Amino acid sequence: MWTIRPQAPSDQRGRAERSLSAWLERKAGLVFLLPAVGVMLGFAIFPLLGSLYTSLIRLRFSGGQTELGFVGLANYRRLLVGSEQAHLLGRGGDASWMWAVLLFLALLLAWGLVRRYRRGQATGWSMAGGVLALTLAWLVLSRLVPGSLLGTLQTTLFYVFVGTALQYVLGLWLALLCAERLPGTRFFRVVFMLPLAITPVGIAYMFRMLTDTSKGPLQPIWAGLGLQGFSWVNDPWGARFAVLIGDTWQWTPFAFIVLLAALQSIPQEQVEAAAVDGATRWQTFRYVIFPYLLPASATLVLIRMIEGFKIVDLPNILTNGGPGTATESITLHAYFAWRTLDIGTAAALGFILLILVLLFSTVYARALLPRARGEA
Amino acid sequence: MRSRSPLRPSWLQVAFTYVALGISAIVVLFPLYWVVVTSLKLPIEVFNGPFYLPFVDFQPSLHAWQYVFNVLGPDVKRAYLNTATVAFASAILTLFLGAFAAYGLTRFEYRPRVGAILSFLGCLALMGVLWVLGTPTGVAALMALGLFFLVLQTLGRRFRRSLGNQDVAFWMISNRILPPVVVVIPIYLLFQQLGLLDTRTALIISYTAVNLPIAVWLMRDYFMGVPQDVEESAQIDGASRYRIFFSIVLPLAAPGLVATFLLVLVFAWNEYLVALFLSKANAQTMPLLVSAMSGTRGTEWWYMSVVILIMILPVVVMAILLERYIERGLIVGAVKG
């Protein structure tokens, strides 16, 4: 009897365990997937909805107390057409050369569209891409006219587009150099990867030292150029370029690594055949190598641009957004609004940035990616 | 007559390549060198213009290192511990959640119904409306949840159209598009409600959420490359799914795990914006400490350089030693994206 008693409950437990494990086995797919879905819902989708609500309220101080008031779209209105418009969108100017450039761009886009239409490739997305490109071009060009002012939107676009282009070109150049399989390139590969691992905050301080024209290490160069005493960070474009250089220093390696991998997967015989046929280096690159790089390049550029829209640490540390608001990105703008307890505006800015990134990446993914990958 | 074979670059080209590579390497390394040198300088040597070579241009001194380790010691140590704890904990958590989800996405078939998702969103919106109208959060959540299951069981089944694994995976990676600044304010309010503001826990959870999409994407790619016949025979032998996952799949995907872990660790180590919003003194991480240092007495470059160096040292050493793994992680992320 004594031997059976302790066995009975353990048998029951065994059955419960068995049915539990059978249930777990049947539901294994959900058990594997749901934790990640839960985290993403909880910390990305729900907060997104919360943010939508936050962007519709304003914090008010009345009699030593704070109260939240629902203000509808007032935060957006203030940013897009109201008193904060100059901060976000800048103040436009008018010049005939601007319209000329815009017209030229429009014609170029129209020509491209017609060509794609003839080939039966044009889609609604290409149209949307053209419209988006023209709008952005107008928003940027009209702010470059003398007497106008760039807002945080244009500054962000500057970092995203100019930065990505620079990083791509430099990364491609370095990758082409390293792909020659000369002895010692492994050392350079390790070196070129370093900036990626370094904390952006640290990079910002490094470049603050380097841009110092009187005590920084490059002082002899500045003195030679007659620029001693010129302060980068006090000049709007100087400050923007300082941020851009820091960002490029950090992210060129990303383009380099991806493009190097793509380069090394190119069948060597084709390159050799082109060389034997007497193609120049440029021809080999343009007609043999570059088509192979196109798919990876398209994805790489998209990823870099999406990440580029989020830039915040470099301008915050390097120039603190200044002079004035010259180097403020949208994220930094939102952070400054948040710091003054204007949480409605901060959330609205976040949403405007999100819409911008979504619009841009959707159009890019629909209109350009398939073509670059040879799917269209 | 051609003086060279078309396939072999001439010595001029080789020389040009090395010169270009050398210049690029200097551009990359010089800022780092300058930080190291500055950390060995006295204030007067920093202020009197550029001095380049220790022992030649100036006498190196360890005063800044001593000051940082002795006087600033407790602050730096706390921030360092915070950074290390948060980065490692969130990287491990991200890795496991990501590997789980990625395994699920490559080995099971999911058919989330459009109807179910729509009814879920509808009930979520309802909860939001109720909450705005002043219903207590708990009540609103319960009502929405109840309604969701009701709708799911009745109307949800009407919409037969369903999505596939591809859509789930795409939804996950598209979370990466979200700029952190959009979600960080509600997350701040949430942690405020939970009393978790300025704690490591809050940072660990947020970093995990931010980095999870990358982890899922990378691990999915690795699991697609792991041959499935071993798993199938293990399944025939009666091993459970979890046993297969932990003792067969994970060991086989070890290189992928390392690559993902490193990438996520570096991102978490360097994170700035979320930490800026969510932590002050208690859970201050190194990037925050460094950026707060310049405020008090102007920028004291010699101390700053020391702190920057100890902040970046672990990630740089890791990048050098495990370069291949990080490289692979980046390539998969970009090329297959």
B225 assigned to some structural domain: yes
Q: Which of B147, B188, B171 is nearest to A50 (CA)?
A: B188
Spatial distance between the Cα atoms of B83 and B270, rounded to a whole number of angstroms: 9
Spatial distance between the Cα atoms of B88 and B282, rounded to a whole number of angstroms: 18
Is A159 strand, coil or helix? helix
| A241 and A365 fall within a common domain | yes
B174 assigned to some structural domain: no
All residues of chain B having their beta carbon less than 8 Å from the beta carbon of residue A311 are none
A187 assigned to some structural domain: yes
| B294 and B211 fall within a common domain | yes
Check residue A218 and report its DSSP letter: T
Predicted confidence band of residue B204 (pLDDT cuts 50, 70, 90): very high
| B267 and B327 fall within a common domain | yes
Tally of structural domains, chain B: 2
Burial of B106 (0-12, 13-18, 19+ CB in 10 A): buried
Task: Quote the tokens at residue B16.
Answer: 């040009």
A229 assigned to some structural domain: yes
| A99 and A199 fall within a common domain | no
**pLDDT score recorded for residue A164:** 94
Query: What CA dihedral angle connects A228, A234, A236 and A240, to 10 degrees?
Result: 80
Nearest Cα of chain B lies from the Cα of A305 at a distance, in angstroms, of 10
Q: How many other CB atoms are found less than 10 A from the CB of residue A135? A: 11
Q: Which domain holds residue A172?
A: 150-372
Task: Quote the tokens at residue A138.
Answer: 């107008």
The least confident of A335-349, B50-64, B99-113, B145-159 is B145-159
**pLDDT score recorded for residue B318:** 86
Top mean-pLDDT range of A77-91, A287-301, B107-121: A287-301
Contact of B166 with chain A, judged by CB distance below 8 Å, is answered with: no
In B, residues 169-188, which contact A (CB 8 Å cutoff)? 172, 175-187
* Mean of pLDDT values over A240-253: 90
Across the interface, of A39, A262, A300, the residue whose CB is closest to B97 is A39
A319-341 tens-digit pLDDT: 887 788 888 888 998 998 888 88
Site of tokens 């310049």: B294
Burial of B217 (0-12, 13-18, 19+ CB in 10 A): buried
Which letter, b or e, does each residue of B178-213 get, where b requires 16 or more Cβ atoms within 10 Å of its Cβ? bbbbbbbbbbbbbbeeeebbbbbebbbbbbbbbbbb
Domain end: A148, A167, A184, which one? Answer: A148
All residues of chain A having their beta carbon less than 8 Å from the beta carbon of residue B321 are none
Are B175 and A249 in contact (CB < 8 Å)?
A: no
Across the interface, of A174, A220, A317, the residue whose CB is closest to B24 is A174
Contact of B100 with chain A, judged by CB distance below 8 Å, is answered with: yes
| A341 and A250 fall within a common domain | yes
Q: Which of A363, A367, A364, A333 is nearest to A351 (CA)?
A: A333
* Mean of pLDDT values over B130-157: 70
Pick A86 or B306 by higher pLDDT. B306
* Mean of pLDDT values over A47-66: 78
Alpha-helical runs (H) found in chain A: 7-26, 28-40, 46-54, 74-80, 85-89, 96-118, 124-141, 152-178, 185-197, 200-210, 219-224, 236-264, 268-276, 281-283, 290-308, 313-318, 330-339, 343-363, 369-372
Domain end: A148, A175, A196, which one? Answer: A148
**pLDDT score recorded for residue B160:** 60
| Helix B301-321 × helix A200-210 angle, to 10° | 130
| A238 and A353 fall within a common domain | yes
All residues of chain A having their beta carbon less than 8 Å from the beta carbon of residue B312 are 197-199, 202
| Helix B323-335 × helix B301-321 angle, to 10° | 80
Query: What CA dihedral angle connects A128, A134, A136 and A140, to 10 degrees?
Result: 180
Check residue A149 and report its DSSP letter: B
Task: Quote the tokens at residue B60.
Answer: 């190196």
Nearest Cα of chain A lies from the Cα of B73 at a distance, in angstroms, of 19
Is A293 strand, coil or helix? helix
Size of interface A-B (CB pairs under 8 A): 295
* Mean of pLDDT values over A141-147: 79
Task: Quote the tokens at residue A14.
Answer: 């065994």
**pLDDT score recorded for residue A1:** 38
Residues 6 or more apart whose CB falls under 8 angstroms from that of B164 comprise B109, B110, B111
A4 assigned to some structural domain: no
Across the interface, of B132, B179, B299, the residue whose CB is closest to A331 is B179
Contact of B213 with chain A, judged by CB distance below 8 Å, is answered with: yes
A7 assigned to some structural domain: no
A361 assigned to some structural domain: yes
Proportion of chain B above pLDDT 90, given as a percent: 13
Cis omega (within 30 of 0) for bond into B60: no
| A177 and A313 fall within a common domain | yes
Spatial distance between the Cα atoms of A364 and B116, rounded to a whole number of angstroms: 30
| A215 and A139 fall within a common domain | no
Angle at A337 between CA A333 and CA A338, to 5 degrees: 115
Top mean-pLDDT range of A28-32, A60-64, A372-376: A28-32
Is the pTM here over 0.90, yes or no? Answer: no
Q: Which of B84, B324, B105 is nearest to B213 (CA)?
A: B105
**pLDDT score recorded for residue B212:** 92
Q: How far apart are the first and last CA of chain A?
A: 78
Are A201 and B25 in contact (CB < 8 Å)?
A: no
Mean of all residue pLDDT scores within chain B:
82
Alpha-helical runs (H) found in A27-65: 28-40, 46-54
| B60 and B96 fall within a common domain | no
Q: Which of B233, B111, B127 is nearest to B166 (CA)?
A: B111
E strand or H helix that includes residue A67: strand A65-70
Are A51 and B241 in contact (CB < 8 Å)?
A: no
A351 assigned to some structural domain: yes
Tally of structural domains, chain A: 2
CATH of the domain at A363: 1.10.3720.10
Domain end: A109, A129, A148, which one? Answer: A148
A313, pLDDT greater than 80: yes
ipTM of the complex, rounded to two decimals: 0.83
B242 assigned to some structural domain: yes
Predicted confidence band of residue A134 (pLDDT cuts 50, 70, 90): confident
**pLDDT score recorded for residue A231:** 74
Predicted confidence band of residue B4 (pLDDT cuts 50, 70, 90): very low
3-state secondary structure chain B: CCCCCCCCCCHHHHHHHHHHHHHHHHHHHHHHHHHHHHCCCCHHHHHCCCCCCECCCECCCCHHHHHHHHCCHHHHHHHHHHHHHHHHHHHHHHHHHHHHHHHHHHHCCCCCEHHHHHHHHHHHHHHHHHHHCCCCHHHHHHHHHHHHHHHHHCCHHHCCCECCHHHHHHHHHHHHHCCHHHHHHHHHHHHHHHCCCCCHHHHHHHHHHHHHHHHHHHHHHHHHHCCCHHHHHHHHCCCCHHHHHHHHHHHHCHHHHHHHHHHHHHHHHHCCHHHHHHCCCCCCCHHHHHHHHCCCCCCCHHHHHHHHHHHHHHHHHHHHHCHHHHHHHHHHHHHCC
All residues of chain B having their beta carbon less than 8 Å from the beta carbon of residue A269 are none
**pLDDT score recorded for residue B155:** 63
Proportion of chain B above pLDDT 70, given as a percent: 89
Residues 6 or more apart whose CB falls under 8 angstroms from that of B166 comprise none
Nearest Cα of chain B lies from the Cα of A127 at a distance, in angstroms, of 23
Are B185 and A310 in contact (CB < 8 Å)?
A: no
Mean of all residue pLDDT scores within chain A:
82
Q: Which of A362, A247, A260 is nearest to A313 (CA)?
A: A247
Spatial distance between the Cα atoms of B104 and B97, rounded to a whole number of angstroms: 11
B1, pLDDT greater than 50: no
Q: B82, B178, B321: which to substitute to probe chain A, counting the most A Cβ within 10 Å?
A: B178
Spatial distance between the Cα atoms of A179 and A327, rounded to a whole number of angstroms: 36
Top mean-pLDDT range of A215-224, B39-48, B55-64, B243-252: B243-252
| B286 and B211 fall within a common domain | yes
Nearest Cα of chain A lies from the Cα of B27 at a distance, in angstroms, of 8
Q: Which domain holds residue B213?
A: 73-109+197-335
Predicted confidence band of residue A6 (pLDDT cuts 50, 70, 90): very low
Own/partner long-range contacts of B43-48 (Cβ < 8 Å, ≥24 apart): B43/B300, B43/B302, B46/A215, B46/B301, B46/B302, B47/A215, B48/A215
Spatial distance between the Cα atoms of B179 and A311, rounded to a whole number of angstroms: 9
| A130 and A157 fall within a common domain | no
| B92 and B233 fall within a common domain | yes
Task: Quote the tokens at residue A309.
Answer: 């829209």
In B, residues 266-325, which contact A (CB 8 Å cutoff)? 266, 269-270, 272-273, 276-277, 286-287, 290-291, 294, 299, 301, 304, 308, 311-312, 315-316, 318-320, 323
| Helix A185-197 × helix B254-270 angle, to 10° | 50
Task: Quote the tokens at residue A74.
Answer: 């007032």
A165 assigned to some structural domain: yes
Spatial distance between the Cα atoms of A229 and B49, rounded to a whole number of angstroms: 12
Residues 6 or more apart whose CB falls under 8 angstroms from that of A74 comprise A58, A344
Own/partner long-range contacts of A331-336 (Cβ < 8 Å, ≥24 apart): A331/A156, A331/B179, A331/B180, A331/B181, A331/B273, A332/A152, A333/A87, A333/A88, A333/A152, A334/B181, A335/B181, A335/B273, A335/B276, A335/B277
Are A198 and B270 in contact (CB < 8 Å)?
A: yes
A61-84 tens-digit pLDDT: 766 667 777 787 888 888 888 887
| A127 and A254 fall within a common domain | no
| A292 and A332 fall within a common domain | yes
| B233 and B249 fall within a common domain | yes
| B56 and B17 fall within a common domain | yes
Nearest Cα of chain B lies from the Cα of A351 at a distance, in angstroms, of 6
A180-206 tens-digit pLDDT: 777 888 888 888 888 988 888 889 888
Are A295 and B213 in contact (CB < 8 Å)?
A: no
Are A354 and B48 in contact (CB < 8 Å)?
A: no
Are B186 and A50 in contact (CB < 8 Å)?
A: yes
B239 assigned to some structural domain: yes
